[in-house]
Structure 1
């Protein structure tokens, strides 16, 4: 089966092209978030609004990312991957133009929903394409390499965003996003369909949406989904709070914040490259979850005792490294269990991930930021450990 899939991939797109293209697509939704993070305080000043309202623009984008995957994932199982991908990129171009012409913070938040829906296409389809063509350890290795490319987005995005903020404003950032969207739309035309007609969901498109029920009923699949969701809750807490924590609390400027964000994001690349060295995918996942729990506990301890910026930064890097181990392994183990419904399964993974991010992000703006960050970080780690324990008691797929 693996050799047949490799032969199919060779006839269609090269592995290098798939890695680069799918890496760009999977990183696209998060890139839209990370790129304008250095501009959040400036955005609040521009619209004359509060921190919570600006963070709501993160929430609305994540809601779009979550809901969009529920639409695009099943549609790609029915119609193939290429058509929905092209439509997603076209929607991104239109929604970015709308953001640029926003007349107040409410309209900006509204248009960010559609940016999120557009980004969802790249996120869900990139996972589905990998599941179309690879399986087992090869699938995990592909996801690990995908994470390397994916990890470049949060490294490059805030650095460029911080640099742009030195010479322009948030509108300059969104003009660059518009150009990126146009480039990716053009690249999408070169992508060759990975899901042949005979493997698509037959009948009406509603048959594809009906596949959600048995997927959600697959307990082992959902355990891995929840491990990833709650682990990434730590990341979403960090994303929403870090511009204000680092720039306002520690008094660094936007460009210095961007450099810190980039260093931390590189930890995710390091973590993703560690995973292929483990004897099994589950062992790598277990190491990642336990490591995240311990490093997060240390992080919160330093944060509440005001232990200093550099120690805090080192612990953030460690947390991101362990997250880099969790993302590819939990995705690989989950999709191995639902290979026949890869689009719908990828959509569910993304939906839970970003809907939880949408819940977590604005919560860092309420009350004491230090207290909110600490509580949410520790709660997410405990829940991830709980579902890891449950998953470890159930039979696992070969990996």
Structure 2
């Protein structure tokens, strides 16, 4: 810490913008090559499930890294570790772009997951380090909105890069993006950690146990996982449905993902607009809309096989998922301000571990075939969300009665 450059007051504005700019990196790391998945499978002569595993491995390592990296960042600082991670991320991206060995790509995607996990947790903690009260709450509620720019822009850009230059260009783009951000971080950012926590495994484990035993926090993370799994299911299957089943181009797949990324942002904006409304009432209303959209999508898929109907219903479902994510993400990150790194890491970590295993399990059971399989996947996740929400409500009501 003594050798680390502290953030200069005059650079705080630029540094805050850079922190926001880095939040969508995980979305870029997954979504930019979504339109290229069929092409990658064809070029490397592997199955769709094998190339989809590159997404799952990223999510697993991204999630696992966040489970422990928060405590490291709380003890050794945010700035230097995130800067080093950006450089390693760029090197891994260049490696992927220069190989057709699926197993080396698997390894580099795991590296991607660990480095992005470090960067994202560090930047979440950045805001808790510097801001408090309503301003902090305002910034936290912007996280899912800012993050959603990745799923909006990345597949749209990736579709064009795939068509003009091939799938490798997606990873060259990620490398260039990381290098540019690393240079800007080096000149304009700095260390923000105010209170150094002793790196004691016993104390850290105690903090983790306290957080996990907070039922509202743990079930909130489950809701985050279920909400984002809906998005990831589409990301892993949508391009194959569009390019193989509907016989359209990667550019069309990119446009479709762009529209659905915008849906997630819309859900985030609605969540921010209703942030002061009664929590369970607004979440229950949102869930009822989600169930209705899924059921109508299932009925429509029996009679119509169309890009427009698939994207329309997926858009509506993703809006409701984005709404859930925005509300629960703000809630979970604000619960433990004295251990911001650990809380942010634990929230993101468990969320993405849930997403990685659940999404891969669902597509193994319901592969990327058509809209019927996609809508059935949404139904499974919606039913699970309803059960968890009901559990949260019953436990909250019980706690209210005990405290009355």
Instruction: Name the TM-score, length of structure 1 as normaliser.
Output: 0.88
Q: Name the residue aligned to 1:348.
A: 346
1:300–1:73 CA distance, 2 compared to 1 (3 A): farther
Instruction: Quote the Cα distance in structure 1 between the aligned partners of 2:296 and 2:78.
Output: 43
* Cα displacement string for residues 359-394 of structure 1 (whole angstroms, at most 9, x for unaligned residues): 234342556534653443222212222222233341
Instruction: Quote the Cα distance in structure 2 between the aligned partners of 1:59 and 1:382.
Output: 23
Instruction: Quote the Cα distance in structure 2 between the aligned partners of 1:328 and 1:203.
Output: 31
Query: Residue 194 of structure 1: SS of its match in structure 2?
Result: coil
Matched, 1:253 2:254: no
Write the mapping of 1:197-346 to structure 2, written as runs, cut at 5 A: 199-204=195-200, 207-278=203-274, 279-280=276-277, 282=279, 284-306=282-304, 308-346=306-344
Q: Do the aligned residues in 1 keep the contact of 2:333 with 2:347 (CA within 8 Å)? A: no
Instruction: Quote the Cα distance in structure 2 between the aligned partners of 1:14 and 1:156.
Output: 26
Q: Do the aligned residues in 2 keep the contact of 1:275 with 1:284 (CA within 8 Å)? A: no
Q: Name the residue aligned to 2:377.
A: 376
Shift of 1:134: 4.3
Instruction: Quote the Cα distance in structure 2 between the aligned partners of 1:170 and 1:23.
Output: 27
Q: Do the aligned residues in 2 keep the contact of 1:159 with 1:259 (CA within 8 Å)? A: yes
Q: Name the residue aligned to 2:149.
A: 152
Tell which deviates more after alignment, 321-330 or 133-142: 133-142
1:286–1:27 CA distance, 2 compared to 1 (3 A): farther
Query: Residue 201 of structure 1: SS of its match in structure 2?
Result: coil
Shift of 1:178: 0.8
Q: Name the residue aligned to 2:164.
A: 167
1:183–1:16 CA distance, 2 compared to 1 (3 A): closer
Shift of 1:262: 0.6
Shift of 1:135: 5.2
Shift of 1:23: 2.7
* Cα displacement string for residues 156-214 of structure 1 (whole angstroms, at most 9, x for unaligned residues): 11111111112111111111111011012123222233321xx2322446643552222
Instruction: Quote the Cα distance in structure 1 between the aligned partners of 2:133 and 2:389.
Output: 20
1:231–1:111 CA distance, 2 compared to 1 (3 A): same
Instruction: Quote the Cα distance in structure 2 between the aligned partners of 1:200 and 1:182.
Output: 29
Q: CA RMSD in A?
A: 2.6
Shift of 1:287: 4.2
Q: Name the residue aligned to 2:124.
A: 127
1:104–1:320 CA distance, 2 compared to 1 (3 A): same
Matched, 1:45 2:42: yes
* Cα displacement string for residues 309-363 of structure 1 (whole angstroms, at most 9, x for unaligned residues): 3222111111222222222210111122222222112112212221122223434
Q: Name the residue aligned to 1:26.
A: 23
Instruction: Name the TM-score, length of structure 2 as normaliser.
Output: 0.87
Tell which deviates more after alignment, 130-139 or 56-65: 130-139
Q: Do the aligned residues in 2 keep the contact of 1:285 with 1:330 (CA within 8 Å)? A: no
Q: Do the aligned residues in 1 keep the contact of 2:127 with 2:139 (CA within 8 Å)? A: yes
Q: Do the aligned residues in 2 keep the contact of 1:81 with 1:195 (CA within 8 Å)? A: yes
Q: Name the residue aligned to 1:193.
A: 191
Match of 2:71 among 59, 71, 74: 74
1:281–1:228 CA distance, 2 compared to 1 (3 A): farther
1:149–1:332 CA distance, 2 compared to 1 (3 A): closer
Q: Name the residue aligned to 1:4.
A: none
Q: Do the aligned residues in 2 keep the contact of 1:281 with 1:333 (CA within 8 Å)? A: no
Instruction: Quote the Cα distance in structure 2 between the aligned partners of 1:16 and 1:92.
Output: 22
Q: Do the aligned residues in 2 keep the contact of 1:37 with 1:158 (CA within 8 Å)? A: yes
Shift of 1:225: 0.7
Q: How many residue pairs align between the two structures? A: 385
Instruction: Quote the Cα distance in structure 2 between the aligned partners of 1:210 and 1:193.
Output: 26
1:391–1:170 CA distance, 2 compared to 1 (3 A): same
1:28–1:191 CA distance, 2 compared to 1 (3 A): same
Shift of 1:271: 1.9
